[in-house]
């Protein structure tokens, strides 16, 4: 048995080849994917703004706000990492959208804590601004 043949049958060798193969198989962000992603970021920010507006007496319950805002923040952050990991095509501004997604995630995570009314209103305005920015990116493609 030759050394090359023995090495190629080694579990470590197989694992290294698999990792290198998967690393070389990066995905891309096409203009259509980008529009969908930008629309998703815009929707998450808009929903976070609505939740921020509902913080306070008579608003949504603490449990709902904590769980739903937490899910929105996680989704925005996952989308951020996806945008950063992919290779943009056709003039797509994936890094700019990833930065917006990160800002949305941070602000919605604060909404999940049910901040005081004044801070919640500031977050609402900021999330509305971020929703509009992501919406413009979705329209431009």
Q: pLDDT at position 25, please?
A: 43
Distance, in Å, from the CA atom of 78 to the CA atom of 102, rounded to the nearest integer, reads 9
**pLDDT attached to residue 23:** 41
Q: Which of 93, 92, 78, 88 is nearest to 28 (CA)?
A: 88
Contact 48, 111 (CB under 8 A): yes
Q: Whole-model pTM?
A: 0.78
How does pLDDT run along the chain (141 residues), one tens digit per residue?
444 444 445 565 554 544 444 344 446 678 888 899 999 999 999 999 999 998 877 777 888 889 999 999 999 999 999 999 988 887 789 999 999 999 999 999 999 999 999 999 999 999 999 999 999 999 986
Q: Which residues pair with 28 in a beta bridge?
A: 87
Contact 44, 75 (CB under 8 A): yes
Distances (CA, A) of 79 to 8, 29, 108, 114: 37, 12, 14, 24
Query: DSSP E strands: which ranges in the chain?
Result: 28-29, 87-88
């Amino acid at each position: 048995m030759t050394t090359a043949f023995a090495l190629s049958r080694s579990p470590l060798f197989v694992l290294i080849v698999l990792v290198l193969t998967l690393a070389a198989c990066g995905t891309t962000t096409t203009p259509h994917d980008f529009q969908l992603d930008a629309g998703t970021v815009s929707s998450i920010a808009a929903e976070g703004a609505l939740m921020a507006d509902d913080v306070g007496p008579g608003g949504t319950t603490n449990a709902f706000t904590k769980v739903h805002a937490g899910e929105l923040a996680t989704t925005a952050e996952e989308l951020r990492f996806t945008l950063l990991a992919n290779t943009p095509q056709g003039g797509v501004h994936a890094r700019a959208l990833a930065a917006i997604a990160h800002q949305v995630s941070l602000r919605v995570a604060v909404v999940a804590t049910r901040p005081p009314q004044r801070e919640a209103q500031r977050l609402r305005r900021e999330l509305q601004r971020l929703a509009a920015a992501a919406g413009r990116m979705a329209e431009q493609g």
